[in-house]
A and B are shown apart, each in its own frame.
Chain A
Amino acid sequence: MRLFAYYDTGHEFSEEIVMAAGFTPYKILGDVNVPNDPADRYVHNYICPFSRSCLTEGMARSDEWAGIAFCHGCDTTNNQYDIWKHHVKTDFLYWINTPAKNDATARAYHEHELRRFISHMEKHYRVDITDDKLSEAIRTSNSVKRLMQELAKLRPVKDIPNDAYHAITRKCVQMHKDDLIAALEKTLEEWKNRPAFPSDCLPVLLTGSDMTYPEGMDILEAAKLRAVRDDLSLGERYFAETISEEGDPVKALVDYHARIPMPPTKIPFEARLVYLRKCLKETNVKGIVYQILKFCEPHGLDLPYMAGELKKDGHRLIVIEREYTPTIDQQLVSRLESFREII
């Protein structure tokens, strides 16, 4: 089955629409091991390196993809749409203007945008995206989300390294869903039999910029911190909620996206705190690791308020800024070790 790629800095994209059209959704995540210089010809290198990595991947691999959709995300990606139009070869490049607000008007607008995307897909690929097909895709998505919820429950109780969790969250957005379900079922059995949560590790909540490569998680592992909760798009944002299987499937998708843990691109920014506070209430973490990728604007803007509020709530919190590199930065490891010491 052909891949249909999407570029999404949160979890805005309704994968179910391309599944109903007969494609495998594939989230563009760049590759930290590949230099960004192809993209650097078109984007200044003071712009988020992850976004440049995605452009590099788009330029190199677009011929493997049936098409590409963008979702309204951070300004860095929004404003790259035109660059992609000029420099990424594809027959189908589409922009879905998912709303930043979350009220009745914004949701009506979201529904309109999804229906518009569906009709463009139908026309371009000569397919019928029926309600039945959408409902089937929703059921498949829900199976993935439920399995991920089961797997995530094991994070605070079993010995699950940070990169093992990261690996399955990546699979969720890049693998064919049937193969994914089989892989997750196998992982669940394996994780259930793992040893207990290691006594020399500290459980933490991980928030901030999306961690898109396993080496980023290795920084935590090196400092003996285990992320047992998070609000990342490659993480709980993707599976915290399921989609209603009743009624109009497009409306169900809109409703789903209004309920998920919010990314920093949404208004108002307090919306993000709701889910973080819920995690902190549900799970006994010892601290919060708030990491931002260098030049990540939305998180840079959210950080002072969010960190301030969480500290006011009485949580131990450390802020680290990471480079986009597969090298484990010992300076960051050292800071996390200090954090561990003071806890």
Chain B
Amino acid sequence: MTERPSGRPRTAASRVTVPWVRTRLRTAPGAAAALALLVAVTAFLAAALPPALDRYDEEGMRRALEAAGPTRTSVQIQVSDADMYLSDGPWEDLLSQEAVAGPFAKLLALPGRALPLDEDQSSAGVRTTRAMKAPDAYLSQPDGVAPVFHLVAQGGVAEHSRLTQGRLPKAPEDPGPGAGSLEADSLEAAVTTETAKKLNIRVGSVVHFPRAEGDPLAVRVTGLVAPREPDGAYWSALPELGRPHRMVTQGPVPSQYWAGALLLAPDAGPALLATPGAPARYWTLAPDLSALHGRDLEALTSAVASLEGGPLLERITTTVSPNLDVSTDLDDVLGGYKGLWSAIGPLVAVAAFGTGTVAAVVLCMAGGLAAARRRAELTLLRARGASLRGLAGRLLAETVVVAVPAAALGLLAARLAVGTGRPAQSAVAAGAVALVAALALPLRAVAAHRAVGVHTGREDVVRARPSKRRLVAEVTLLAVAAGAVLTLRTRGTSADGDPTGDELVSLAPVLVAVIAALVLVRLYPLPLRGLARPARRMRGVVGPLSLARAGRAGGSTVLPLLALLTALTTAAFGGSVLTGVTDARERAAVFAVGADARVFDLTEAAKGVEERVRRAPGVDDVTPVKVSYSALAGNQRVSLAGVEPDAYAALSSRLDDGAFDADTLKADGEDTVPALGSPALAERFGDDPFPVILEDGDSFTARVVAVRTWTPALGADDFLVVDGSALRAGLEPPTGLLVIGDPPDAAALRKAAGDDAQVQLRSDVVAATVESPLQTGAERVYAAAVAAGAAYAALALLLTLLRAAPERAALLARLRTMGLTRAQGRRLLILESLPQAVLAAVGGALTAWAAIRLLAPGIDLTTVAVSTGAPAAGRALLRADQLSLLVPALAVVALTVGVAAAQAWWSGRRGAVRELRAGDAR
């Protein structure tokens, strides 16, 4: 029945068949570019996180290992006495250079990739296991005690040092079999320049070691060597090898003496049998710090464990000797680092999850916006016979062409800019961004065009019908989120509970935001509609109109609100964490110093120090204290401080733990002196008076009137604080000064205090608490996440307003024709957008507050704030920071109002013709 006219010129079929993607891209290059930009930036951020974390992780671990030093991080292997006693062969053979070097090569290869070793810094040799006294008078003897030495025949001294004087030692001539090197009574050795300087050794000096029988062993120093890397493992894994140590004798009167090492020729091992020092072979395996990565922590830990008592140890014993000790503190160092990491990890995850959610929402909103803008076109396509799958496929092709290259670009940029760690995670993150970006539009379109629409302008009215399916979905989501939050709450706050729940903890702000968004979106039109009725009686048009419109717009979607709430929550949470960390650091510093600065160890001679310190720049006030560290309370040794009650009470109140009422401490000439005591003392003496005797013989009776866990002058030891006037000599002269200032000038303070006294500044302590790159890294990641989250939230806001922009422009144009002035139009738009903005702001602040309250017990900022080793000031808990709550919330309101005003201005300029064109069904 079809009649085909013929005889027309043939046209290229390609010009008729639609190359969909190309056509679309050419039609809307702006939209494609915007999407590409959004995806590229998001992918960049997502892909940058893993390498950034990896870098902090790696740096943090390296710093932790470096801080621990080679003494703790290297693995020491040493054969025990039994090795020789149980052996049949001659002992000389057991100490020969071959007996050392042979196993060394095998040991270096043993741990393999699990524990990469630094061959250059690893060392092996024979050394005396007992230090030997050298009573030669010319050696430095600080307190008249003779220094002790180890004799060490370590391989590779020549390569690891520079000969500065003399020559390197030689091993004694082999006296031939049977002669017995026990007879050898002279050996040659080198010493490091530092040992030589400290112990007063020169080339040619002879160090004598008395032996149980026969002449003392004489060791002649033939040369001085300067270590090339004195801090490397080669020179510092064994204490004293590179530089001598000052030791202290035990006993009633401690006296100092030196401990050093004499470096023998590498093949002089057997000669050590002639010493009383019980020689033994040893191997020091130094880990290659540059090859250790935070991400390998698990493997590393297990490798170390295996070394200390597992399969690796077994292989070492079979390689070397069954009688040996393997020891290292590497596991402790790694464990400490792991603790830090697991404390910081969840915090970073909170930021990542929060910002990730906001970014995902924004991507979805961008898809939704595109779907809304192209609604008519898609409806037409559907009506003309596009299948749902065909439609989704076309849209997917469109977005994929844009999103995938953009994400790849973002990924590439991230890898170039941030680093190359964790490539798989980076790629997955960028891929996820591309996936969300690519799927958002097709999925939204499929949902909207599932049923083929009627091609009229009326669909809005129909669509406004609340869908039951949506309600069910929302209630389900609400239930899931509420359940998760409840679990989190009831699971308790085991600070170091099972790590499986960490995702839940990290997701909590998002979950709370989800709940709040779902509930608020449903609730907030109610009061508005309630307001709209009385508002109708108001004078003027703008007020009632905007209220009515805001109330009608109640069908606004959950997504933008969710984005805003999540972003606000994350920002507030992050802000609170950062403030909490700063507070904790300040607190720890106050705890350690007691004031802004502290001058202590003042001697009696240092008269006038107080006056000088008072005049130093930056000093506001000085509180003198008189401290005695070995007072006796009853028969217990305590630290006692005499203070001026008023000034000291003011100082103490800077920390809750220390605050007390000055009047309670004032001694008014009665027999018992009121005292501030530590809990242990209070428990011991209760309310009873007890005698106090000071070093200088002063004595009085005291009674604990108040108990504090901490006091500025003495910290948190066992302490007593009394009114200085109760002391015989009063506060003159003080032994310490607590300085308040803003901040006190460090150099001036040191100068004023003189040489003998010590000065400690709070700011120095604060600076010292930031130790690990992991901590600074966590803070940086957090700051970046908060900034990105805020940017995305702003974008979400803009997208929402953009979506409603045409409709608003049309309304404004229509109202203009009815005589609405420009100012009224502006006011209308602003007033209309305000309720939503205020809702988001208030909701965001509330959500953030709730999330912080919810999470605070489980989050211990102490680890982040104060690294291990710094003085503890109790657990630093998370508290809602008002500034962090309010500033982002107000920013949302400001941004909304700004955008509304901008739109009013813009549409005022553009004129109304376009909006009023006939046939535009709006």
Partners in one complex: no
